[in-house]
Structure 1
Amino acid sequence: MARRRTANFGTPVGYWMMGMNLTRMMVETQMVIAMRLMGMQGAWSVAPNENVRMVSEKMTAFAQSMMATQRAVISGKSPDQVLGAAMRPLSRKTASNHRRLGRAGPK
């Protein structure tokens, strides 16, 4: 009788690192939201097209995330690797927005 393969669900360190990456992304996201809201109130230096950029960049980032997730699932990656693939495009966008808006500073 053929031996059944057990699913590879990653390592404890992989899950811990994924949790840390999720936490970093959540903090960056909240900071970006705060800076954009302050920009809408006139208290933070933002580009005039920031509101349009805020909406349009999400479509691209989520489409890239969806495609990366599908590729990871189809190739048989572990759950932490699938989540990592899904997060990567979103995390890159939140990190770049955080850097860009943070450099602009308050008015």
Structure 2
Amino acid sequence: MDIIKSASVPEEKISSINGKGYSDSKLINNSIQRDYNTQNILNTISQNKNITIYSTWGSGPKLTNWTDEVGKIKNITPLVSPSMAARVPLGTEKFKYMLDDWSKKITPTNI
């Protein structure tokens, strides 16, 4: 589940987020109004015993409302973002870097 449920984007900014990819900074800034999905995430967590929460948003933005919403979700395991726009160390292949990180942090469980 994405933490952003919906966004209200000014007409002149739509072209910067509509297409084949964009940096999250185009969506997570002070000019875009976001509606968060936090309560749905918290409801899902409360209804699923022993659930593990993963995040691919890195260190996240420094916006107060983003920080407040993310702060409501506890015990988040950060993962390398699968976004091709996300940075990896110079000379590193994105897929291998992501797979290595995810393999170390995601462990199969018996349900």
TM range, smaller chain: under 0.3
Give 1 or 2 for the bigger CA radius of gyration: 1
* Alignment TM-score, normalising by the size of structure 1: 0.25
Relative to total residues, which structure has the larger strand share, 1 or 2?
2
Length-normalised TM-score, structure 2:
0.25
Q: Quick check: which one's helix share is greater?
A: 1
Q: Which has the higher contact order (CA 8 A, sep 6+)?
A: 1
